Every structure is written in C-alpha cells, then in structure tokens.
Structure 1
Amino acid sequence: MKFVLGIDGGGTSCRAALATGNGVVIGRAKSGAANIRTDLTGARTHIVEAARQAFIAAGQDPDLIPQTPAILGLAGANVGTYRQQLEAILPFSISRVETDAEIALEGAVGSGDGAMAILGTGTAYMARKGGTSRAIGGWGFQVGDQGSGARIGRDLLEQTLLAHDGVRPRSALTDSMMAIFRNNPEDVVEFTTNAKPGDFGGFAPKVFEHAEKGDSVANWIVDKSVADVEASLHALDLSDDAPLCLLGGLAPLYGPRLSQRYQALLKAPLDDALGGAVQMAARIFVKAEATR
C-alpha cells in the first residue's frame, strides 16, 4: 500500500493528511466544514477537496485518490445513518468513517488508557479504560454540545437581545454585539435564520476576550460553559492517574479555568485528531493488507 489518508472534519473546517503506509505524513490540506449531519453533501465536497489538496501538497497525483484508503473522523457520525450514507459516496478505495471523538482519543493518548475532551465548535468527550472506550456528548448543537463555541455564541446572542430589551443588564460585550448588527435586533434574528454552528462559534473568542476584561455578561457565559464542561468530565469517572487531554480551538481558553481536580490530570496530547486518524489508518489498513 503506497498511501493512506487521515481526515478530520468538524463544524468549522475539514483537514486532510496524506501519509505513507507507516504513518509518516507527507502532505496536509484544509477546506470547509464537514459535519455530516449538518450538511452531508457539502461535507463530502469539502472532504474530497481537502484530500485532493493534500495530494498536491505532497507532490503526488490526486488521480491516486481512488486507490487510497481513508479513515475519517467526522462530526455528526455518531447519530443516524449519516456515516453509512457518506461511506457509500466517497471516492477512496476504502472509506471508514469514525466519530471525531474516536480519532481525537487515538491522537491524544494513543492506544492506552486516558481521556480527551474536544472543545471547539462542538464538544465531545471520550475515555478509555482497560481497552474499553466510552463516549459522552457530541449530540449536536440543537440538543447538545454544551460548552461548545456554537453554544457560547448562541448564548451571547441571546444575552445581547435580553440586554437590548432591558431584561438583563447591558455590558461592553452586548453593546459591541449590537454594533455588529447595526444596533438592530431584527438583524440578530435574521442572522440566526440560516446560521450554522460554525457561524455561532465564530463569536466564542470574543466572549473569552471580554471575560478577561471583567465583562459581567462574558463571565456569566464562560462560568456556565466551564460548569458544563466539568459536568461531562465528572461523568467520565476518571481515575486520578488517567491522562486528560483537551483538544480543539477552545482548549487553551478552558484549561486554566478548570478546577484543580481536572487541572492535575491535564497532559499534552501525543498528537491531534488528524494525527490520530493517520495512525489509525496506517495501523488498520496496512495490517489488513499484510494479513491477506
């Protein structure tokens, strides 16, 4: 087997890495969102484009895509039949779709015990004990993803409208949000009509920035989100010596805000989710070929 592909797709972007059969990455690329529950067709387009660009970045011919197997860790793969639908329409020689949590755990702790939390546009948690994995969350923006960038952004817009109506106190953060929407609450509502999780999540860094400045609304949202994250970590029932890795764009913002119990468990991940997908692909596909 000449090459394997690792794909990491979420609500904001899709990353691809082309690697040799022993897992050495030779090309990387990035494209648009790839949450298969939110937009299956768009996700497929972005997955294929990221793979194509990864081949080009490696100086290889993208026409080799149909001869290359891929492990894909994708947001939305944990519900419904989206996983099976996508596998049927991808161009790779073998397409194995996993959850984004599965590849993130593989990247973070390798094949041993430990836990990880994805804290990005969405949230998901997974722990492995004695070879058995358990996942928590990842149910999507509408009914889950507590503590995610998308939920933080949604909460910010809600608090902004409440402040505009005089139900809650205004703050510098809510005033700045109203300015973005021309001080027109109808524009805020119009934004939400077609906004995807990634669109909401784009406001999350702004909340953390204002929290650092002591903004009351920002701190209320951040405190609520930290409590949601810790509730999920508590449900994982981590042992005192289990490494805990925080992944995703919001991980550096959450880490210092966790309680001492969880800060004591924090370890740097061995690799990121994309690296986990690559190593899983090399292990599974190369091993399968060797046993034929």
Structure 2
Amino acid sequence: MNMYLGLDGGGTGCRAVLTDDSGQIIGRGTGGPCNIMSDRDGAVAALTECAAETLAGRDPAGVTAVLGLAGVNTSGAGDWLPPLLPFGRSRVVQDAMTAAYGALGDSDGIVAAMGTGSIFIRKLGDAITTIGGWGPILGDEGSGNWLGRRFLSEVLRAGDGLTGQTVLTRQTESRHGGRNGIVAFARDARASDFGAEVAHLLAARDDPVAIRVLSEAAELVAVSIAAIQKDELLPVTFTGGLGTVYAALLKGRWPQREPLGNPLDGALRMARTWAADGSRARAEF
C-alpha cells in the first residue's frame, strides 16, 4: 500500500500525519523541539520519535515523505538527513516551502510565518522567495524567541532604572527570582523557552512595556513584508502561533487572506505531488 507522510518541525515541536492512497488519514504523531540548526542530535531524536508514533508499526518502505523543518537553509539537512530517515522516499525542505503551500495552495501571495521562529515567504507561480529565517541568535525578527528575548531585556532595563518599572516588569522579575534569575534562565534557555515568555507579554497587552515591545516587533515584521512584496501588491497570510497577533497589529497595511491550511497540510500536499509526478515536484520544490 502506498502511503504519504507530511511532517512539520520547528523550535517548539514536530508533528506528522500519514495518509493512504485515497487521502484517508491513518496515522498521526508528535515529537519534541526540532530545529536541526541549533540542535542536530535533538532534532533527529525528535523526528525518529514522531515517525515511529505516526507509522504505528506500518512498513516505512511504502511511505513517500516530505519534511518541512526549521533550519534546513543553514544546516544542509536536505542532503544529510534523508538517509537517516526510515521512509522509502523522503525529502527534507525548508519549512517556508511547506508553510507557503499549506497556507496558499496554488494561489500567489505573501506568507508571514510567525512561530517560535519567523520567516517571510513570497509565492508567485512556482517561484518561492524568502526573507529572514536566519535562526534564533541572529534573526527570526518578531518571532516568539525574539519577543521573549526582547521582553526580558526590557525587564532588566526597567530594573536598572533605565526605563520605568511597570506591573508586568515587577511580576516578571519576581517570577524569575530577581534579575540574576532572569540572566540565569537566559543562559541555558532554548528558543522555545524564550517563546514561552510571550504568553505573559500577551496577557498584559495594556502594560507600557508590552505595548512598546509588540509595537517594535510589528514594525520589524512590516519592514520584512514590505521588502518581500516587491513590485506587486500581494495579499498577506499570517500563520503560526503568533499569526493572529500580527494580523491584528498590522490590519489595514495590506490585504489579508486567511490560510487555507497549515504547514503540515503543505508537507502532505508536497508528498502526494512528488509521488504523482516526481519531475514536476522537483522543479516546484
């Protein structure tokens, strides 16, 4: 039996879905954080766990799989990772591709994928262009990781008297056991750990620090969207865990369109297209 697997992996976790020839879903799975650039061994372990749960004992030799992962563009994982996977045929692509095909289908547009990381994608016909996606240390502006880092930096500045203390900064400092506790947390924190701080930021949106950080982030996102629009005004689709946040913050800047699906849908669509017409899939993807 031919089977098709789509997998979406990022800094927060990975998830997969398996279908048969008719498109019926026959398996699902989840795994831990999966950024192959910042934690190669951890990502491979998470993918292995996710694949095993999704297959549930089925023979992987009959599976055509497409994995959309964070960090592919900077890690070379498109070459070294497929041989480590159990599937009969597998392709590893940047998560921007699966996000674009999941959100837009065959339509043209801009996708602002805003999760633990961030990337901005322009799809025009079969051509895909990206801005950003450079990882949790040097890039991913506006992402959960970026917001968490920026937020905690503001808390430290407020504690030093460089900006005014607010209810939110005091609560955050207390939650971490003081400013030294914030620094200790940041020393070992992963992107997903910084991303978890965003819940506290969003829960206090009227706080001056929250307003300042979210406004700064929104402008950075707007700059990237404007840059990738180029000469054509394309509708913008916001996706990811923070997609609705930025859709609201940037309402009215450009026409917005709701996503048709998610990156997991995009990965599965790519797997089925690849199996149906390999030459076309290679050209598109």
TM-score range, shorter chain: over 0.9
Check conservation: 1:147, 1:228, Cα contact below 8 A: yes
Q: 2: CA distance between counterparts of 1:23 and 1:287? A: 17
SS where residue 126 of structure 1 aligns?
strand
Q: How many residue pairs end up in the alignment? A: 278
Match in the other structure for 1:107: 102
Counterparts in 2 of 1:202-221, with a 5 A limit?
202-211=196-205, 214-221=206-213
Q: Which moved more, 1:129-138 or 1:68-77?
A: 129-138
Q: 1: CA distance between counterparts of 2:21 and 2:131? A: 32
Q: 1:131 to 1:68 in 2, by over 3 A?
A: closer
Could you say what the CA RMSD is over the residues aligned between the two structures, in angstroms? 1.7
- The C-alpha deviation readout for 1:64-89, integer Å capped at 9, x for no partner, is 12442210000000113233222232
Q: 2: CA distance between counterparts of 1:87 and 1:36? A: 13
* TM-score, length-scaled by structure 2: 0.92
Counterparts in 2 of 1:25-64, with a 5 A limit?
25-56=25-56, 61-62=57-58, 64=59
1:138 corresponds, among 121, 130, 133, to 133
Q: 2: CA distance between counterparts of 1:66 and 1:40? A: 24
Residue 118 of structure 1 deviates from its aligned partner by: 0.6
Check conservation: 1:11, 1:75, Cα contact below 8 A: yes
Residue 111 of structure 1 deviates from its aligned partner by: 2.5
| 2:252 is the counterpart of 1:257 | no
Check conservation: 2:70, 2:94, Cα contact below 8 A: yes
Match in the other structure for 1:277: 267
| 2:140 is the counterpart of 1:177 | no
Q: 2: CA distance between counterparts of 1:53 and 1:268? A: 31
Q: Write the letter of the residue equivalent to 1:286.
A: A
SS where residue 26 of structure 2 aligns?
strand
Residue 259 of structure 1 deviates from its aligned partner by: 4.2
Match in the other structure for 2:157: 162
SS where residue 179 of structure 1 aligns?
helix
Match in the other structure for 2:238: 246
Q: 2: CA distance between counterparts of 1:37 and 1:125? A: 18
Q: 1: CA distance between counterparts of 2:38 and 2:60? A: 25
- The C-alpha deviation readout for 1:84-120, integer Å capped at 9, x for no partner, is 2222322222221111110000011113312211111
Moved over 6 A (4+): none
- The C-alpha deviation readout for 1:129-186, integer Å capped at 9, x for no partner, is 233211111001111100001010001111111111112111111111111112x222
Unaligned runs of 5+ in 1: none
| 2:188 is the counterpart of 1:228 | no
Q: 2: CA distance between counterparts of 1:139 and 1:23? A: 34
Check conservation: 1:23, 1:278, Cα contact below 8 A: no
Unaligned runs of 5+ in 2: 280-285
